[in-house]
Amino acid sequence: MKNYLPLMGEWNKMLYSLDWLENVLSSAGLKVAIQPGWKTRGHGDVGKIKGVMCHHTAGPKTGNMPSLGVVTNGRTGLSGPLAQLCLGRDGTFYVVAAGKCFHAGKGDWKGITTGNTSFIGIEAENTGINKPGDPKHDPWPAVQIDAYRRGVAAILKHIGQDESMCCGHKEYRLPLGFKNDPTFNMDQFRKDVAAIMNGITPIPALIPKQDGSGRSTLRRGSQSDLVKEIQKKVGFVGGDVDGKFGSLTEAAVRRFQRTHGLVPDGIVGPNTWAALNGE
């Protein structure tokens, strides 16, 4: 437990133990957004950290990290913070708290039953529905899963633990079957985390530079008449149809991808081009 920290305009607050989270994630090359007051936020301090617990938010299908407020402030019947970290769909880690969070509940992993005080919780934005055809079906973007693995690997390395000390909420929470988060396969996830920790980085599936019709793969920063075509087809709003692939265009592409059952990575590659043209 750290010393009291004087904050301007507030009563002194306790600086909690996990104040290293920002630096560890940033040093791993990850995108990090810190939330105001995070170093003094928590339900008291944590104990000795033994591992990382993975969750999904079961939040809205749209938006990068719409559940951030709930995780930070809590909900009816459960006060926040609800996890130390949030993970947006674009792979950004939001650092919420340095103290204890209410994310684990009653459970057991490797004989450890003190989930809230012994595990760092990560709430990744996802509806929790993994059923094609369901209106809330929410495929995990590759960029988000990659950041999830790398963030967990960086934390485990920092605390001196191997991949076995990463668990899903569905594996910890008792009775088993009570929770289903996260929806991806945790055994494979741990293998990928181990590969990163051992310097054998999984190679992401690369998006081809062009599709079969010669249309270029476009993303934020692109500028062309093809971008104008995209802006018109995805229902771009909030700016001119100017052929410049900025943040508003990316957001519109993500919305289009989600409504068409595609991975919402904001990149217009072969699959998205096909959907845009009804192919």
Count CB atoms within 10 A of the CB of residue 3.
Answer: 7
Residue 267 has pLDDT above 60, yes or no: yes
**What mean pLDDT comes out for the span 148-160?**
97
Contacts 24+ apart (CB under 8 A), 105-109: 105/173, 105/179, 106/173, 106/174, 107/172, 107/173, 107/174, 108/172, 108/174, 109/51, 109/53, 109/167, 109/171, 109/172
- Structural domains in the chain, CATH included, are 4-197 (3.40.80.10), 225-276 (1.10.101.10)
Q: How confident is the model at residue 241 (pLDDT cuts 50, 70, 90)?
A: confident
Query: Please, which residues have CB within 8 angstroms of residue 208's CB and are 6 or more apart in sequence?
Result: 217, 269, 270
Per residue in 199-226, pLDDT tens?
987 655 567 888 888 999 998 889 999 9
